Amino acid sequence: MTQTADIVIVGAGAAGLAFAWAAVAPNIKVVVLEAGGHVNQRVAPSLASDWELALQTTFNANPNLRRGVADYPVDDSESVIRPAIFNAVGGSTIRWGAHFPRLRPSDFRKRTLDGVAADWPVSYKDLEPFYDLNDEIMGVSGLAGDPGNPPRATRSCPPLPLCPATRRLAAAYDRLGWHWWPSDAAILSRARGTRGACNNCGPCGVGCPRHARASADIAYLGVAQAQGVELRPGAVVTKLERLGHDITDVHYVDANGPARLSCGEVVMAGNALGNARLLTGIIDNPLFGCGLMLHPTAIVTGLFKQNQQSWRGAFASALVSQEFYESDESRGFIGGLQLQALRGQGPLTTALGGYGLRLPWGQRHKEDFVARFGHSLSLTVTCDDLPEGANRIALHATQTDRHGLPVPRMIYRVGENSQKMLDYGIKRASEALREAGARQIAINPLVRNGGFHLMGTARMGVDDQAGVTDARGRVHGMNNLSVVDASTFVTAAAVNPTPTLQAIALRAGTAMRDGKITQRAIA
């Protein structure tokens, strides 16, 4: 029997589930296919004392090392940055710090303002209502009034508190006259419904048993299913069947064997790597796969004489400085950067190096451990990467995964502009940490395991010369194929992409629900 759906969404991560929630209606059948399974965060590793071991195994961000049942290999031999993605219901929001910043209006107008890259075919104003809607659904703690960003609606929860180390940093920024603001975080500081309030435990990245930290499954899946969305976990999509300018069927494999869905619309939300495995040969636009942007990131760590107990509190969501966010020609590069505070880590992760170098073995080890553990505060230097043609996602010519799908290749080097930005940001971060009282500075000039934001390989554009998709993710030249994840980004900005990719997904899903569907499944 041929199964049918009006809309088939490939990928149940941040974008896929937001899109599903927005697109479903009583007369629109939406099916989400997800290669991974559910992750029960109520029994997260942070309930056990050896929780840090999970960061090396089941919660390892690198799929090549994690090797879970839903993971496929990624050839990263031609990339200085390794992939950091999670394949499960909820996607990479299972494994994230829930730092939740928005792009600025200028990020959408890079060509007009700075003469590089391209302008987006959507503006901040176009996305603003969807940012607000998404914030409400995900549950965001923060504070309106940030002078670094346009005015925005009151956050649903007050900001997460600073700790001794981040208070030092905030005071340092004030002395330097630099911008700072408490992070918008998709972490509840007050309980809501079945979700508890954050209890400041720290290791958000291994899941949150209180459900205070949002993930796409916690925030969107239940409400989407209540409206009729059907989720099929453990369903690995193996092929899109194309007839002319239409995708007619989606083939997948699950525990019951091979299956096929006849579809009205296909929406890809499997990230740039996953999408490439299915769309190469379907999308013939030469821009597809090119212009990969990754947010090359440096981490600067300050060590303080006094124990700051910096293991307390959400590790990635405290405060940011966007003092150097907008372009300034005098700095010698285009675009800008964000400095994001990262708290200290657990004892094992500290010994293994945390954000920098592993502690030496031998007789110095214990002394170094006591000097560092709880004494550190780090700053990321997150760069507004530019799209460069040589940076791309391609497919391996011969290697395949266990389903016969080609292994994606991640091809990336840090461009000259981004390197200048990193160098500048490292100096500024070091300056801030010294001003905060750090007696020693350690620099990780490039986070090798930092391929968590995969952007630009199916970028939006007004037509097929400017982009792979239109402003709502519809693939130019195809009647019923869309892409709605971060691969549609035109520019990278210098902030985490999740709020923006979810806003884009909500906008596209709403448009499809409200009459943009051109086809329906063939019964």
Which stretches of 355-455 are DSSP H helices?
A: 365-372, 416-435
Tokens found for residue 467: 């982009």
**Nearest distance from residue 125's CB to another protein, in Å?**
7
- Tell me the closest approach of the beta carbon of residue 46 to another protein, in angstroms: 4
**Does 115 contact another protein by CB under 8 A?**
no
Q: Does 32 bind another protein (CB under 8 A)?
A: no
Q: Is 415 in the site for another protein (CB under 8 A)?
A: no
Binder of another protein out of 180, 288, 304, 355 (CB under 8 A): 180
> According to CB under 8 A, which residues from 384 to 413 bind another protein?
none
CB of 47 to another protein, least distance (A): 5
Provide the CB-side half-sphere exposure for 400 (13 A, CA). 7
Q: Assess 152 for contact with another protein (CB under 8 A).
A: no
At closest approach, how far in Å is the CB of 499 from another protein?
A: 16
CB of 250 to another protein, least distance (A): 33
Angstrom distance (rounded) from CA 59 to CA 24: 31
Q: Using CB under 8 A, which residues numbered 87 to 106 contact another protein? A: 104-106
Does the protein bind another protein through residue 189 (CB under 8 A)? yes
Closest by Cα among 117, 129, 124 to 461: 117
**Which residues, in sequence order, are CB contacts of 463 under 8 Å at separation 6+?**
476
Nearest one of 157, 236, 225 to 197, comparing CA atoms:
157
Q: Is 226 in the site for another protein (CB under 8 A)?
A: no
For 323, 335, 386, 396, 422, the CA distances from 332, given in Å and listed in that order, are: 16, 10, 15, 37, 12
DSSP tag of 510:
H
Is residue 113 near another protein by the rule CB under 8 A?
yes
The values of phi and psi at residue 376, to 5°, are -110, 150
Q: Does residue 351 touch another protein according to CB under 8 A? A: yes
Using the rule CB under 8 A, which residue among 161, 164, 437, 445 binds another protein?
Answer: 161
Hey, what are 250's tokens?
A: 């989606």
Binders in 49-78 for another protein, by CB under 8 A: 49-53, 56-57, 65, 67
Asked whether position 449 contacts another protein by CB under 8 A, the answer is no
Q: Is 150 in the site for another protein (CB under 8 A)?
A: yes
User: Contact region for another protein (CB under 8 A) — 254-262, 296-304, 356-364, 470-478?
Assistant: 356-364
Select the residue interacting with another protein from 96, 100, 124, 333 (CB under 8 A): 124
Reading across the β-sheet that carries 406-412, which strands appear in turn?
Answer: 75-79, 406-412, 392-400
Strand partners, 382: 297, 338
DSSP-derived letter for residue 140 is -
Of 189 and 496, the one with the shorter C-beta distance to another protein is 189
Q: Does 462 bind another protein (CB under 8 A)?
A: no
Size of the site for another protein (CB under 8 A): 77
329 is an interface residue for another protein by CB under 8 A: no
Is 137 one of the binding residues for another protein (CB under 8 A)?
A: no
Distance of CA 352 to CAs 55, 211, 308, 368, Å?
12, 28, 19, 12
For another protein, the binding residue among 16, 121, 205, 209 (CB under 8 A) is: 209
Task: Give the integer Cα–Cα distance in Å for 273 and 280.
Answer: 11
Looking at the Cβ atoms of 153 and 370, the one nearer to another protein is 370
CB of 179: closest distance to another protein in angstroms? Answer: 6
Question: If binding is defined by CB under 8 A, does position 244 make contact with another protein?
Answer: no
For residue 161, the minimal CB distance to another protein (Å) is 5
CA 199, CA 188: separation in Å to the nearest integer?
Answer: 10
Q: Is 256 in the site for another protein (CB under 8 A)?
A: no
Burial track 200-234 (b if 16+ CB lie within 10 A, e otherwise): ebbbbbbbbbbbbbbbbbbbbbeebbeeebebbbb
CB of 109 or CB of 428, closer to another protein: 109
Q: Does 173 bind another protein (CB under 8 A)?
A: yes
Shortest Cβ distance from residue 487 to another protein (Å)? 24
Reading the block at residue 261, the tokens are 């869905």
Which listed residue (258, 347, 389, 477) binds another protein by CB under 8 A?
Answer: 347
Both tokens of residue 372?
């560092």
Query: Please, which residues have CB within 8 angstroms of residue 294's CB and are 6 or more apart in sequence?
Result: 81, 385, 391, 412, 450, 451, 453, 454, 455, 492
130 lies in the site for another protein, by CB under 8 A: no
Does 147 bind another protein (CB under 8 A)? Our answer is: yes
The only residue of 63, 139, 233, 313 in contact with another protein, by rule CB under 8 A: 313
Which of 134, 275, 297, 322 binds another protein (CB under 8 A)? It is 322
Q: Does 363 bind another protein (CB under 8 A)?
A: yes
Q: Which of 63, 234, 291, 374 binds another protein (CB under 8 A)?
A: 374
180 CB-near residues (< 8 Å, 6+ apart): 169, 170, 173, 174, 319, 320, 321, 323
Scanning 214-222, 276-284, 287-295, 355-363 for contacts with another protein by CB under 8 A, the matching segment is 355-363
How far is the C-alpha of 65 from the C-alpha of 517, rounded, in Å? 40
Q: How many CB atoms lie within 10 A of CB 68?
A: 17
Amino acid at 340: Q
CB of 97 to another protein, least distance (A): 14
DSSP 3-state of 226: helix
Measured in degrees and rounded to the nearest 5, phi and psi for residue 414 equal -75, 120
Evaluate whether 261 touches 4 at the Cβ level (below 8 Å).
Answer: yes
Q: How far is the CB of 124 from another protein (least distance, A)?
A: 7
- Residue 203 near another protein by CB under 8 A: yes
